[in-house]
Chains A and B, each alone.
Chain A
Amino acid sequence: MNSAEARDRFSDALDGELSSEEQAAFQTALERDEALRSEYEELHQLVVGMHRLRKVDSEVHLLVGVQEKLRANGRRPKPRELLKETNQRLLRPTILALWLFLIVLLVVALLQLVELDTEAPAEPPESTSTMAPAQPGVPSTNLRSSRPRIRDTAETNVVSSRALRPKAG
Chain B
Amino acid sequence: MDDPEESELVDRLKRRDEAAFRELVLRYETRIYRLVLRMIGDPSEAQDLAQDVFVTVFRSIEGFRGESRLSTWLYRVAANHCKNRLKYLSRRARGRKRSFDEAVQAHALDSASMSTSANLPAPDQVIQGRQLEMHLRMALEQLPTEQRELVILRDIEDLTYEEIQSITDLPAGTVKSRLHRARLALMQQVRHLQGERS
Contact = CB atoms under 8 A, between A and B. Distances in A.
| A, B in one complex | yes
Interface of A: 8, 10-12, 14-15, 17, 42-43, 45-54, 56-58, 60-63, 65-66, 69-70, 73
B132 interface: yes
A62 B180 contact: no
A65 B151 CA distance: 28
A73 B55 CA distance: 9
Nearest to B124: A45
Contacts of A61: 29
B156 A50 contact: yes
B50 A60 contact: yes
B51 A57 contact: no
B156 A66 contact: no
Contact of B155 (A47, A56, A57, A58): A47
A62 B156 contact: no
A56 B34 contact: yes
Contact of B136 (A8, A10, A14, A46): A46
Given A46-B186, A46-B190, A47-B155, A66 B179 contact: no
Contacts of A62: 25, 29, 32-33, 47, 50-51, 54
Interface string B108-127: 00000000000000011001
A65 B29 CA distance: 12
A36 to B, nearest CB: 13
A66 B136 contact: no
Interface string B27-43: 00110111001100001
Contacts of A12: 176
Nearest to A73: B55
Nearest to A14: B183
27 contacts: A10-B184, A11-B179, A15-B161, A42-B187, A43-B187, A45-B124, A46-B136, A46-B183, A46-B186, A46-B190, A47-B155, A49-B136, A50-B136, A50-B155, A51-B155, A53-B140, A54-B156, A56-B30, A60-B33, A62-B47, A62-B50, A62-B51, A66-B51, A66-B54, A70-B55, A70-B58, A73-B55
